[in-house]
């Protein structure tokens, strides 16, 4: 019988553990990137049970999502032909040996059996744990904040010396203009980085707080949609105040008089001021000037460029931005101290994972790629 018409139900486990005993493989095939891996695994698991290829036993018992080989199956579809289906980090490969065969026959064999046993495959898929892969907001905002801080530290501003207005040579004025243009550009870059660092520091801290809520939230809070939404929509300070009530595995009520909470308030207040971007006459004030008709008068005999290009009194300043990054880190440390000691290390690993995994079967968060596939925070509830 042609291979493409063979039923995998009649396939046997291979008595030969690797192709090297037969002098190597006869051929290899990389399955197309759009090949249905879920259904293929369901087919193989239905027929043979857990992965049985020798590559599956090189990693940790029960599988290794970080290994170069994720799983493999080895079987004898007909005669002396041996097939090994391997899930590598790059895709799915099929190796064969024992008989000559071509890639198209191998592919048709798999497709034929996927169609032939689609009912069994659907049933088998129901027994798999489904994970939703999520972008980790905390990791994203920490990365942006860290890169912004590094870029900000590299900027060293030094205003060019103004040449005399009367008697300056054309070459001198031209040189000053070029230096001033570069200075303005660098100052504008610094102002942008200041603003970005303030925003991302606050986002980072809030994302960490929200991750604690997501992982440790009590079931009774989740079960009521109105209470659940109310919990998520509270302001940051109210979330911390109620953390021990809304979440399990929080050791004690938070001390809101802690200096780190006070500094966090200053950070969030500054974030809100710059986020709303209203041209307030106090918060965004650069200075004061007067006019007589169209004659401008400044309070001091300084350069007009200090006002016409708005270089001074940036909001936020470099010091503001640096303070916010420090305040965010301190608030995160404060929140970490509230978590039950049994779960601190597991939560640290989860907080640093990207992507996050949400087990739709067990309704818990986990680490899909890491030393452990999942941290069972259900035990904390």
Neighbouring residues of 268: CB distance < 8 A, sequence distance ≥ 6: 202, 236
Mean pLDDT of 138-149: 98
* DSSP secondary structure, 263-303, as one string: HHHHHHHHHHHHHH----TTTT-----EEETTEEE-SSS--
CA 111 – CA 102 distance, rounded (Å) = 15
pLDDT in tens, 77-104: 998 999 999 998 899 999 999 888 999 9
Q: For residues 166 and 263, state if they share a domain.
A: yes
Q: How many domains does the chain have?
A: 2
Q: For residues 188 and 332, state if they share a domain.
A: yes
Query: Is 381 contained in some domain?
Result: no
Q: For residues 219 and 157, state if they share a domain.
A: yes
Among residues 9, 46, 48, which one has the least CA distance to residue 120?
Answer: 46
Among residues 340, 329, 379, which one has the least CA distance to residue 138?
Answer: 329
Stated pTM of the model: 0.82
Helix (H, G, I), strand (E, B) or coil at 101: coil
Say which residue the tokens 């709303």 belong to: 276
Per-residue confidence (pLDDT) for residue 306, from 0 to 100: 65
Query: Is 217 contained in some domain?
Result: yes
Half-sphere exposure of 241 (CA within 13 A, CB side): 8
CA 370 – CA 4 distance, rounded (Å) = 38
Q: For residues 58 and 145, state if they share a domain.
A: no
Q: For residues 32 and 169, state if they share a domain.
A: no
Q: For residues 333 and 186, state if they share a domain.
A: yes
Q: For residues 121 and 138, state if they share a domain.
A: no
Q: For residues 94 and 236, state if they share a domain.
A: no
Confidence grade of residue 337 (pLDDT, cut at 50, 70, 90): very high
Q: For residues 91 and 49, state if they share a domain.
A: yes
Q: For residues 82 and 190, state if they share a domain.
A: no
* DSSP secondary structure, 227-271, as one string: HHHHHHHS-HHHHHHTHHHHBSSB-S---TTSHHHHHHHHHHHHH
Domain that holds residue 105: 3-125
């Amino acid at each position: 019988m042609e291979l493409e018409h063979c039923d995998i139900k009649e396939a046997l486990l291979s008595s030969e553990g690797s192709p090297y005993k037969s002098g190597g493989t006869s051929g290899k095939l990389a399955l197309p990137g759009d090949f249905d891996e879920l259904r293929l695994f369901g087919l193989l698991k239905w027929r043979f049970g857990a992965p049985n290829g020798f590559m599956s036993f090189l990693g940790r018992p029960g599988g290794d999502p970080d290994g170069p080989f994720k799983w493999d199956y080895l079987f004898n579809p007909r005669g002396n032909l041996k097939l090994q289906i391997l899930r590598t980090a790059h895709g799915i490969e099929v190796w064969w040996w024992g008989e000559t065969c071509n890639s198209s026959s191998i592919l048709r064999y798999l497709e034929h059996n996927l169609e032939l046993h689609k009912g069994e495959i659907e049933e088998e898929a129901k027994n798999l744990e489904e994970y939703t892969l999520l972008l980790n907001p905390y990791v994203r905002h920490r990365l942006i904040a860290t890169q912004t801080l590094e870029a900000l530290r590299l900027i060293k501003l030094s205003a060019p010396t103004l040449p005399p207005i009367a008697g300056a040579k054309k070459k001198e004025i031209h040189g000053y203009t070029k230096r001033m243009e570069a200075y303005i550009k660098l100052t504008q870059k610094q102002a942008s980085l200041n603003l970005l660092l303030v925003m991302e520091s606050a986002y980072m801290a809030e994302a960490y707080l929200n991750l604690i809520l997501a992982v440790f939230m009590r079931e009774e809070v989740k079960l009521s949609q109105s209470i659940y939404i109310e919990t998520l929509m509270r302001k940051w300070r109210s979330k911390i105040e109620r953390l021990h009530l809304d979440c399990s595995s929080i050791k004690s009520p938070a001390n809101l008089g802690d200096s780190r909470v006070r500094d966090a308030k200053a950070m969030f207040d500054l974030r809100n001021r710059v986020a709303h971007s209203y041209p307030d006459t106090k918060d965004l004030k650069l200075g004061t000037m007067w006019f007589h008709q169209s004659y401008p008068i400044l309070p001091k005999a300084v350069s007009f460029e200090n006002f016409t290009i708005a270089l001074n009194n940036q909001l936020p300043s470099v010091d503001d931005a640096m303070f916010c990054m420090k305040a965010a880190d301190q608030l995160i440390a404060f929140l970490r101290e509230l978590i039950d000691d049994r779960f601190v290390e597991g939560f640290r690993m989860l907080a640093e994972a990207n992507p996050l995994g949400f087990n739709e079967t067990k309704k818990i968060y986990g680490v899909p790629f890491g030393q452990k596939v999942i941290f069972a925070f259900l035990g904390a509830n």
